[in-house]
Chain A
């Protein structure tokens, strides 16, 4: 069982659809993150949760709605997306938010908006 698991691995959705991405970590970590990775762009931090509380929202459009019901699970709810939202969405977790703490990533969800 991998440390950080993301489902689904691939998702194709229309612009009027509603879908959710799921992330689960089995590492006992307290912090979880959503990143967006677009072609030819650096990874963009979207949201950070620490002990289920959101600590960072990096000016993400409201069509992306995160949810963190507990320290082990993180969701990203998607609605009325645009084609430019097509990207690899990576979830990560870390023990805490200190500078010496590495983040562990899942394999990502490849999202295509048509």
Chain B
């Protein structure tokens, strides 16, 4: 069965430092998509970055990059030069191949707190 695991319930990081949020997944599908979302206290889930299972290069979006290691089934999010506004819950998510592409499943999340 497909599963997303985020092993860090909470993290504290000093402002301007880089931070890595861990995500591992389990699937037997060959085609899938990996996503990271940010959820501030307001509740809205904000899409950050996407990585396809066939993409050979790691995805980058501004200060966000995804460290994709397919053989290890990991898709860690790296935030460079963290800012106070980065404090939020972060969720790793996966969408499966087309036969069940209607499903996006989420990990349990990591609460990131940035210290000034």
A108/B43 in contact, CB under 8 A: yes
The residue from A45, A99, A106 contacting B44, defined by CB atoms under 8 A apart: A106
Question: How far apart are the CA atoms of A110 and B15 in the complex, in Å?
Answer: 31
B102/A107 in contact, CB under 8 A: no
Residue A23 at the B interface, CB < 8 A? no
Interface set of B (CB-CB < 8 Å, partner A):
4, 31-33, 35, 37, 42-47, 50, 52-53, 91, 95-98, 101-109
Residue A55 at the B interface, CB < 8 A? yes
The residue from B44, B53, B96, B108 contacting A108, defined by CB atoms under 8 A apart: B44
Question: How far apart are the CA atoms of A105 and B40 in the complex, in Å?
Answer: 12
Distance between A47 CB and nearest chain B CB, rounded to angstroms: 10
Distance between A74 CB and nearest chain B CB, rounded to angstroms: 14
Using A42-B107, A101-B95 as known contacts, say yes or no to A110 and B102 having CB atoms under 8 A apart. Answer: no
Residues of A within 8 A of B44 (CB): 105-108
Residues of B within 8 A of A56 (CB): 102-103
A-B contact count (CB 8 A): 65
Question: How far apart are the CA atoms of A56 and B100 in the complex, in Å?
Answer: 9
Using A42-B107, A42-B109, A43-B91 as known contacts, say yes or no to A103 and B47 having CB atoms under 8 A apart. Answer: yes
Interface size on A, residues (CB 8 A): 26
Question: How far apart are the CA atoms of A99 and B54 in the complex, in Å?
Answer: 11
Within 8 A of B (CB), among A86-113: 88, 90, 92, 97-108, 110
The residue from A43, A48, A104 contacting B102, defined by CB atoms under 8 A apart: A48
With A42-B108, A100-B33 already in contact, 15 other A-B pairs whose C-beta atoms are closer than 8 Å: A48-B102, A50-B102, A56-B102, A56-B103, A92-B45, A97-B101, A99-B52, A99-B53, A99-B101, A100-B95, A101-B95, A102-B35, A104-B47, A105-B37, A105-B44
Residue on A nearest B107 in the bound complex, by CB: A42
Question: How far apart are the CA atoms of A104 and B46 in the complex, in Å?
Answer: 7
Question: How far apart are the CA atoms of A72 and B14 in the complex, in Å?
Answer: 42
